Amino acid sequence: MTMMTHAEIQRGLAENHNAPNGTARNAHAEALVGAAEALGDAALFRDTLDNLIRAYLWSSESSKMLVPFARLLQEYDKDPGSFTTSDTRSLFWKFKWVASAISDSPEIPLESAWGWIAEMERRYRIAGYGERPVRKAEMWLAHSTGDDERADRAHRAWLAADRDSMSDCRACELNSQGNYTAWRGDDAQALEHWKPVLAGDRTCAEEPHRVLSGSLLPLLRLGRLDEARAHHLRGYRMARGNESLLPAVARHIEFCALSGNESRGLEILAEHAAHLGPLANVDDQLAFHGGILVLLRRLKELGHGDSPAASYEGVPRTVSELYELMYAGSLAIARRFDSRNGTTRTSDRFLARIGAQPLVGVLPLGVRSAQLPQTEGTAAAVGPVAAVPTAAAAATPEAAFTDLVERARQARDQGRPAADGLWAEVAVRMDALPEEGVDPLVAADVADSRALAAARAGAPEAAELLEAVRDRYRALGQDERAALAELRLASVAGQCGAEPDRVRELLAAAAWAAEALDPGEPLRARRIASAELASLRIEPYLRSRETGHEHADGHAHGHGHDHAHGHDPEHDRGQRELAAFAEAHAQTLPDLAADAEELLARVALSQGDPERAVVLLGSAARRVAEAGRPWQAVDPLVLRAGLLMSLGLPEEAEEAARSAVEFTVEITDAETQAAARLTLADALLRRADAAAEAAEHALTAAHWFDQAGLAALGGAQARFALATAYARDGRVPDAAEVLQSALPDLLEHGDSQAVSAREFLGDLLRRLNEPRAAAEQFLLAAEVAKDWDDPRPQADLAHSAADQLAAAQLPEEAAAAYERAVELHRMNGGAPVAEVRILRSLAWLALREGAFGASVARARFLMDEAAGVLEAALSSDPEDPRLRAELAQTWHQLAQVLDRQVTAAEHVDDEYGEDEDARPAERLDASETWALRLEEIGLCEQAAAVYAELGPDHLEDRLQCVQYAAWTEQELGRDEKGIARMSALVDELRELPEGTADGLLERAEYTLERLSAS
Average pLDDT over residues 33-45: 90
For the beta carbon of residue 696, count every other beta carbon within 10 angstroms: 18
Asked if 116 and 102 touch (Cβ cutoff 8 Å), the reply is yes
Asked if 735 and 706 touch (Cβ cutoff 8 Å), the reply is no
Q: What single letter denotes the amino acid at residue 808?
A: A
What are the backbone angles phi and psi of residue 241, rounded to the nearest 5°? 75, 5
**Residues forming a β-bridge with 318:** 308
566 pLDDT tier (thresholds 50, 70, 90): very low
384 pLDDT tier (thresholds 50, 70, 90): very low
Which of 246-255, 503-512, 588-597, 906-915 bottoms out in mean pLDDT, i.e. has the lowest?
A: 906-915
pLDDT of 877 = 92
Average pLDDT over residues 688-713: 96
**What integer best gives the mean pLDDT of the chain?**
91
Which pTM value belongs to this model?
Answer: 0.85
Q: Which residues, including other chains, have CB under 8 Å from residue 454's CB and lie 6 or more apart?
A: 461, 462, 465
**Residues forming a β-bridge with 204:** 207
Up-side HSE of residue 202: CA atoms within 13 Å toward CB?
17
Average pLDDT over residues 217-224: 97
**Higher model confidence: residue 35 or residue 389?**
35
**Cα separation of 618 and 627, whole Å?**
14
Taking only the tens place, the pLDDT of each residue in 910-957 is 544 554 544 455 678 889 999 999 999 999 999 999 999 999 999 999
**Cα separation of 64 and 9, whole Å?**
22
**Cα separation of 706 and 268, whole Å?**
19
Task: With a cut of 50, say whether residue 871 has pLDDT above it.
Answer: yes
**Cα separation of 765 and 684, whole Å?**
25
pLDDT of 177 = 95
* Run of H or E including 529: helix 524-547
**Cα separation of 176 and 183, whole Å?**
10
Average pLDDT over residues 686-712: 96
Cα separations in angstroms, 384 against 224, 359, 387, 704: 19, 18, 10, 10
Cα-to-chain-centroid distance, residue 75: 50
**Cα separation of 470 and 487, whole Å?**
10
**Residues forming a β-bridge with 207:** 204
* Run of H or E including 54: helix 42-57
Q: Which residues, including other chains, have CB under 8 Å from residue 272's CB and lie 6 or more apart?
A: 241, 246, 249
Task: With a cut of 80, say whether residue 555 has pLDDT above it.
Answer: no
Average pLDDT over residues 47-58: 89
Asked if 675 and 638 touch (Cβ cutoff 8 Å), the reply is yes
Task: With a cut of 80, say whether residue 556 has pLDDT above it.
Answer: no
849 pLDDT tier (thresholds 50, 70, 90): confident
For the beta carbon of residue 730, count every other beta carbon within 10 angstroms: 11
Average pLDDT over residues 967-979: 94
* Run of H or E including 979: helix 975-990
Q: Which of 293-302, 388-397, 786-795, 996-1005 is modeled with the greatest confidence?
A: 293-302
Q: Which of 537-551, 560-574, 699-713 is modeled with the greatest confidence?
A: 699-713
Task: With a cut of 90, say whether residue 907 has pLDDT above it.
Answer: no
Average pLDDT over residues 787-814: 94
pLDDT of 446 = 95
Helix, strand or coil, per DSSP, at residue 588: coil
| Region class of 386: left (phi > 0), else alpha (psi between -120 and 50), else beta | beta
Helix, strand or coil, per DSSP, at residue 610: helix
Write the DSSP symbol of residue 244. Answer: G
pLDDT of 98 = 87
pLDDT of 121 = 94
Q: What single letter denotes the amino acid at residue 782?
A: A
pLDDT of 996 = 81
Asked if 654 and 646 touch (Cβ cutoff 8 Å), the reply is no
| Crossing angle for the helix pair 479-495 and 524-547, to the nearest 10 degrees | 20
Cα separations in angstroms, 741 against 367, 727, 735, 738, 925: 6, 15, 10, 5, 59
Cα-to-chain-centroid distance, residue 406: 47
- Compute the radius of gyration of the chain from its Cα atoms: 37
Percent of the chain topping pLDDT 70: 94
Q: Which residues, including other chains, have CB under 8 Å from residue 600's CB and lie 6 or more apart?
A: 560, 575, 578, 579, 582, 616
Average pLDDT over residues 583-598: 96
Helix, strand or coil, per DSSP, at residue 243: helix
pLDDT of 910 = 55
- HEC sequence for 325-394: HHHHHHHHHHHHHHHHHCCCHHHHHHHHHHCCCCCCCCCCCCCCCCCCCCCCCCCCCCCCCCCCCCCCCC
Cis amide prior to 68 (ω within 30 degrees): no
Q: What single letter denotes the amino acid at residue 127?
A: A
What are the backbone angles phi and psi of residue 302, rounded to the nearest 5°? -85, 0
pLDDT of 99 = 85
pLDDT of 376 = 55
**Higher model confidence: residue 157 or residue 20?**
157
Task: With a cut of 60, say whether residue 426 has pLDDT above it.
Answer: yes
Strands (E), 187-338: 308-312, 315-318
Helix, strand or coil, per DSSP, at residue 315: strand
Average pLDDT over residues 839-859: 91
What are the backbone angles phi and psi of residue 952, rounded to the nearest 5°? -60, -25
**Cα separation of 251 and 96, whole Å?**
24
Maximum Cα–Cα distance across the chain = 119
Cα separations in angstroms, 792 against 495, 799, 826: 45, 10, 10
Q: What single letter denotes the amino acid at residue 213?
A: S
Average pLDDT over residues 607-621: 96
Task: With a cut of 90, say whether residue 565 has pLDDT above it.
Answer: no
Write the DSSP symbol of residue 521. Answer: -
